[in-house]
Structure 1
């Protein structure tokens, strides 16, 4: 059944190296451009997800450089790009026409490259505040949750991927995570692993938690996020890292923007003790401690070639995951 209120304004058909592009009216002065047909993450590879995300990053940069009159802001998503504009100054059809020109000119992102900011972050696995969040969930919401054994989600995540907890930790810190989008909660980055063997997955809580601490690092469907503020949440909890959001800045890192991350950033974790992470929290609140950042160029083609060279390792991990998930089938929490 079709409706006269169908929000879809235009479609650009799929091309050899570009998914279908769908233009949707998202409200007065909002245009959403979506890449692909919204299939579930579990049905896509990291390569599929990131090639779409790279396209968003490249188009976002091109649109900003085009300086379209009446366009006030762009909001990159993992597989979408939202345009915020003044409809009194910029006609919707005109915006679609200008964006379409840029889209059609970009046949592929394979030859694209861009500078990324690499940020090293300490990570305390199973921090006591993480355990407190899990204990609150099991005592108040779901005491039978199979993913909350002994106040930790790590054992379940490892079992779901057919690996050990120690292997989980090594893989988590052994890959770099590229920030695909920032949002949902204040400053929260959605990140995907650049190393194919870091593509770990797991289902979400059912139902969700009511409290997750600031700095919590979690995982679900290949995606890692970090909580900038305490809030509810549903992904499996891994550990805790340092502040990534300050609404009222006390540290120079947040002077120009309350959120630490932006799309194209790359996060690299290193394991640290709970005491060390908590000490860094206090230093940052006092305006001390220096975030470890560096800049490097990222080539899409070089990353795709690296990904393809890992084909055997990818198959090995996926087979472990399939066997493990079959064994866990039927468990509910």
Structure 2
């Protein structure tokens, strides 16, 4: 078998494919794949590969490579300095890489930030969860789940039955970008003021240096908030009850816009005022620190026309790409497709041109609404039209992804509205569940290391610095830090979402309202969180599935809730509506438990259970005065904390 050998790896060079991993967004597995989908698709098609073939993506500096047999290659994206044995290679031109010659993609000195290489036959690395794409943070896919290193050898695919090669014209790079977006699903007047929405779209945003494949951070003016906080979802007005994001969704993480990237999180608790259209998502892969970005609102119809032009071009590279027309800004309000005043009331809005977001009930936590969302998702799965590709349940929301080439958003909204009329009463439903016991090391050293890094490099004056647990104690009017740990230990947590943050990680809420500690999320978010850290944000608890950014206040660390090994069909270990209990252990005991689970010698402690709204009602009826007293006490402490911030 022919191989491609890495002479020098460049910066963050990874194996990627075009589509990435599909169908796993609901458990926090991002699609990954090429960040600049257009450049990747062009060079891949240029050498005659099928769209499923894998190639290479690099950042800022490209790799040097050699092959042991002649192969056609094409470079693109931000590659401007590629050479073969010192001879310049024009981007988009299909050329032969002779056996033994050295292809050097060179520095990517701008404009643009990512380069691509397609090689005849593609890279024949193993499929992992349905894709060859590398997810570096998760440590899987591509070549051993990591960026390439010198000496790596990548097997090449077969050359039989490939399409005829055809050189292409790469897309134009820039340092000033107009990115078309569809407003919503969130906006005025619920989350932002009308003036705040107008300012959001009128501003010239600057790409922050901390941007990467998980998300593009933008710096600019403060959002014009229409409210003072997120209620039970958190102290900051950006906070919402956990809801799914589409790739390209622009979430307001605190006061910072972050565009969800191909390695981004699927579920989180932040407002999303706009979604980048599919035809312009390629630009996100080329945004460079310091570039300027204007977000231009357009209609779903404009977005559909743009992606159809793209598909037509890629289907026949001999034709000239359609010139990009002058952008005519569309309305700045979210597009509402359906609204119902039933029980619960719900709204269906566009979340880009490929997603719908159903939001139900009031903006506070209502577990009856959470069960209703689950029943709606089950009904759609049982009556799934061709073209629905993903469904992600949130606390009071359901995100539905649609293949726009096969199915329209209006048709899906109509199907949902019909299904909603036939759902069972959530008050009467008994859901199968499991009780899962997790060890937890409170005050774990790694959690404190995350706090220290944040205080040192991000926001030393944040009210949750230097000690998150002390902050939780204060905003819940508790007398001692240990009371925080005792409440977490005593609670039974109901899993109401998976994938926050990543890889099957649960977001959960105590069934007993007296155990619902209230806090807020970091603003801005942390840039590093240890794997399996346990945190609280709003009234929710989450377990971080892997290292990465995060915003929940950290209380400890637990064991992995994700285990990917050869042959594992379902590496996520928790399910919707599982009941989680925590058992305190020392940091040393936790290290032993983590090693045993990672090695497959131990597993989570699990027993059968059920969940029903009747369980919640029973607690509410047994202690109504106590529950009301605790809620009032915490709300007063919450308000006092916010008053201190404004002083």
Indicate how the Cα distance of structure 1 residues 330 and 303 shifts in structure 2: closer, same or farther if over 3 A, else same. closer
* Match of residue 24 from structure 1: 349
Query: Helix, strand or coil for the counterpart of 2:431?
Result: strand
Pair 1:74-2:388 in alignment: no
Distance 2:524 2:405 in 1: 43
TM-score (structure 2 length as normaliser): 0.46
- Aligned pairs for 1:219-298 (under 5 A) are 219-246=536-563, 248-249=564-565, 255-298=568-611
- Whether the 8 Å CA contact 1:18–1:108 is kept in 2: the answer is no
Q: 1:320 to 1:85 in 2, by over 3 A?
A: same
Query: Judging changes above 3 Å, is the alpha-carbon distance between structure 1 residues 95 and 146 closer, same or farther for their aligned structure 2 residues?
Result: closer
Query: Which residue is 1:12 aligned to?
Result: 339
Question: 2:447, 2:530 within 8 Å by CA — same for their partners in 1?
Answer: yes
Distance (whole Å) between structure 1 residues aligned to residue 536 and residue 499 of structure 2: 16
Q: 1:132 pairs with 440, 445, 449, which one?
A: 449
Q: C-alpha displacement at 1:217, in angstroms? A: 0.5
Q: Which residue of 2 aligns with 1:182?
A: 498
- The equivalent residue for 2:637 is 324
Q: CA RMSD in A?
A: 2.6
Shift of the alpha carbon at 1:13? 2.5
Match of 2:377, SS? helix
Q: Structure 2, unaligned stretches of length 5 or more?
A: 1-193, 199-329
Is 1:194 aligned to residue 511 of structure 2? yes
**Corresponding position of 1:141:** 458
SS of 1:11's partner is strand
Compare 58-67 and 74-83 and name the one that shifted more.
58-67
Normalized per residue, which structure has more helix?
Answer: 1
Relative contact order (C-alpha < 8 Å, sep 6+): which is higher? 1
Match of 1:212 in 2: 529
SS at the partner of 1:110? Answer: helix
Q: 1:178 touches 1:267 (CA, 8 Å); kept in 2? A: yes
Question: TM-score w.r.t. structure 1 length?
Answer: 0.85
What SS does the corresponding residue of 2:428 show, helix, strand or coil? coil
Q: What secondary structure, in the 3-state scheme, does the structure 1 residue paired with 2:421 have?
A: helix
Please say if residues 146 and 331 of structure 1, whose CA atoms lie closer than 8 Å, have aligned partners that are also in contact: no
**CA distance 1:28–1:131, change in 2 (3 Å):** same
What's the CA shift for 1:138? Answer: 1.6
1:306 matched residue in structure 2: 619
Q: Distance in 2 between matches of 1:133 and 1:82?
A: 31
Contact 2:388 2:401 in 1 (8 A): yes
Q: Does 1:156 align with 2:156?
A: no
- Structure 2 equivalent of residue 35 of structure 1: 360
2:100 matched to which residue of 1? none
Note the C-alpha offset of 1:258.
3.3
- Shift of the 303–232 alpha-carbon distance from structure 1 to 2, 3 Å rule, reads same
* Corresponding residue SS for 2:514: helix
Distance 2:455 2:558 in 1: 23
The structure 1 residue matched to 2:415, chosen from 88, 98, 116, is 98
The answer to whether the 8 A contact 1:189-1:225 is kept is yes
Q: Look up the SS of the partner of 1:185 in the other structure.
A: coil
Give the CA deviation at 1:127.
Answer: 0.3
Provide closer, same or farther for how the CA distance between residues 86 and 306 of structure 1 changes in structure 2, counting only shifts above 3 A. Answer: same
Distance change (3 Å), C-alpha of 1:116 and 1:158:
same
The worse-fitting range, judged by mean Cα deviation, of 261-270 and 128-137 is 261-270
Query: What is the Cα deviation at residue 191 of structure 1?
Result: 1.3
- Tell which deviates more after alignment, 268-277 or 198-207: 198-207
The C-alpha deviation readout for 1:224-258, integer Å capped at 9, x for no partner, is: 11111111222211100001234x427x8xx2233
Match of 2:293 in 1: none
Q: Which moved more, 1:214-223 or 1:90-99?
A: 90-99
Deviating more after overlay: 136-145 vs 5-14: 5-14
Q: 1:181 to 1:313 in 2, by over 3 A?
A: same
Q: Deviations over 1:61-114 (max 9, x none)?
A: 222223434333311112111222334444433322221111122374111121
Decide whether aligned partners of structure 1 residues 11 and 122 sit closer, same or farther in structure 2, where only a CA change above 3 A counts. Answer: same
In structure 1, runs of 5+ residues without a counterpart are none
Aligned 8 A contact 2:512 2:616 in 1: no
Provide closer, same or farther for how the CA distance between residues 325 and 78 of structure 1 changes in structure 2, counting only shifts above 3 A.
Answer: closer
Q: Is residue 186–residue 245 contact of structure 1 (8 Å, CA) maintained in 2? A: no
Contact 1:18 1:107 in 2 (8 A): no
Count of residue pairs brought into register by the alignment: 317
* Distance change (3 Å), C-alpha of 1:302 and 1:280: closer
Check conservation: 1:145, 1:332, Cα contact below 8 A.
Answer: no
| Distance of 1:62 and 1:212 partners within structure 2 | 37
